[in-house]
């Protein structure tokens, strides 16, 4: 029994009708549960706030739950009576979680649950009107996105897309790609002979991100067809050269150190 479910008893020796009405409360819980075996021992009787001066009294009886899958839950039966009368009335029967109850995680809106890679073939992911990653393409005033007349005019005069990436959207994309597998911190980039911005296969992006992002057009590079940062790099750099050991010797194959080796017995 939970420590928080300590029984509340009146200070006087006399027991009032609400506190004594354990069996009527149990019967109400059994009726709701549909099986006497699903209602356990009586745990506590808690006096609720009075309905009003002289209008009535309310008390809740709590019983342990034996309902499968509801560990730590309990039945709460709220009863009431009119002052001066012995009869009690069942107001409510509910199944409530206790301190040790297993609860489902808090509900999260769908647009907050989505993660990169969740979108499958045939799925549709609409952008919301207040998406901070987007801004109206035809004005610098973000409030114009809520103006239907402005959107009609923009479409009629051929301004192109209604919305483009906002400053926040572009900044988030740059941060995400910079920290990814084709950014300057990737192991491949740290061992590269030069950055992508100096490579002949580097295709800079158009627009405001031209100075920091581009696409790789080298079919032999690991980033072929991917967005890369200007300071990314790989061994397929267009200016990469072979290592010259001596003036007359050029290394064209991989070299292995065979001075030490392990003998593996059968």
The predicted-structure confidence for 186-237, as pLDDT tens digits, reads as follows 999 999 999 999 999 999 998 889 999 999 999 999 999 999 999 999 999 9
Backbone angles phi, psi at 61, to 5 degrees: -95, 140
**Alpha-carbon span 198 to 201, nearest angstrom:** 9
The predicted-structure confidence for 94-140, as pLDDT tens digits, reads as follows 999 988 888 888 888 877 788 877 878 887 777 778 888 888 776 54
**Alpha-carbon span 177 to 212, nearest angstrom:** 10
Q: Which of 178, 192, 190, 185 is nearest to 237 (CA)?
A: 192
3-state SS assignment for residue 101: coil
Does residue 65 or residue 142 have the better pLDDT?
A: 65
Does residue 112 or residue 151 have the better pLDDT?
A: 112
The predicted-structure confidence for 34-89, as pLDDT tens digits, reads as follows 999 999 999 999 888 655 444 468 999 999 999 998 888 999 999 998 877 778 89
Q: What is the pLDDT of residue 137?
A: 74
Residue 228 bridge partners (DSSP): 214
pTM score: 0.48
Q: What is the pLDDT of residue 33?
A: 92
Across the chain, mean pLDDT equals 79
The answer to whether residues 139 and 208 belong to one domain is no
Q: What is the pLDDT of residue 151?
A: 62
The answer to whether residues 49 and 92 belong to one domain is yes
Q: Which residue has the tokens 């808090």?
A: 106
The answer to whether residues 88 and 35 belong to one domain is yes
Q: Count the domains in the chain.
A: 3
Q: What is the pLDDT of residue 122?
A: 80
Q: Where are the alpha helices (DSSP H) in the chain?
A: 17-20, 22-33, 110-113, 148-156, 167-178, 187-190
The answer to whether residues 154 and 180 belong to one domain is no
Tokens of 185: 């911190």
The answer to whether residues 155 and 215 belong to one domain is no
Model confidence at 19, pLDDT cuts 50, 70, 90, reads confident
Model confidence at 147, pLDDT cuts 50, 70, 90, reads low
The answer to whether residues 24 and 41 belong to one domain is yes
The answer to whether residues 79 and 143 belong to one domain is no
Range of the domain at 187: 169-229
**How many residues comprise the chain?**
266
Confirm whether 25 is domain-assigned.
yes
The answer to whether residues 56 and 72 belong to one domain is yes
Confirm whether 8 is domain-assigned.
no
The answer to whether residues 87 and 22 belong to one domain is yes
The answer to whether residues 158 and 173 belong to one domain is no
The answer to whether residues 93 and 133 belong to one domain is no
Q: What is the pLDDT of residue 149?
A: 66
The answer to whether residues 137 and 190 belong to one domain is no
Strands 249-250 and 227-229: unpaired
Confirm whether 257 is domain-assigned.
no
Tokens of 9: 């008893």
Backbone angles phi, psi at 44, to 5 degrees: -160, 155
Confirm whether 256 is domain-assigned.
no
Confirm whether 53 is domain-assigned.
yes
Confirm whether 108 is domain-assigned.
no
120-131 burial: b if 16+ Cβ within 10 Å, else e: eeeeeeeeeeeb
């Amino acid at each position: 029994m939970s420590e928080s479910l300590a029984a509340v008893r009146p200070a006087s020796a006399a027991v009032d009708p609400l506190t004594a009405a354990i069996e009527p409360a149990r019967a109400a819980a059994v009726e709701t549960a549909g099986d006497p075996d699903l209602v356990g021992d009586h745990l506590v009787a808690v006096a609720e706030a009075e309905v009003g001066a002289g209008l009535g009294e309310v008390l809740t009886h709590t019983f342990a739950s034996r309902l499968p899958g509801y560990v730590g839950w309990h039945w709460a039966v709220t009863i009431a009576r009119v002052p001066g009368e012995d009869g009690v009335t069942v107001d409510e029967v509910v199944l409530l979680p206790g301190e040790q109850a297993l609860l489902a995680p808090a509900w999260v809106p769908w647009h907050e649950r989505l993660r990169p890679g969740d979108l499958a073939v045939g799925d549709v992911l609409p952008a919301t009107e207040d998406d901070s990653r987007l801004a109206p393409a035809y004005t610098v005033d973000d409030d114009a996105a809520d103006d239907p007349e402005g959107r009609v005019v923009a479409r009629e005069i051929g301004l192109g897309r209604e919305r483009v990436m906002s400053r926040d959207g572009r900044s988030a994309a740059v941060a995400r790609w910079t920290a990814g597998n084709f950014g300057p911190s990737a192991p491949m980039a740290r061992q590269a002979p030069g950055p992508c911005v100096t490579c002949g296969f580097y295709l800079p992006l158009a627009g405001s991100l031209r100075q920091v992002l581009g696409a790789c057009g080298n079919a032999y590079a690991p980033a072929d067809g991917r967005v890369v940062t200007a300071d990314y790099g790989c061994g397929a750099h267009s200016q990469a050269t072979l290592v010259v050991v001596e003036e007359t010797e050029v290394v064209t194959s991989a070299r292995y150190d065979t001075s030490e080796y392990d003998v593996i017995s059968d």
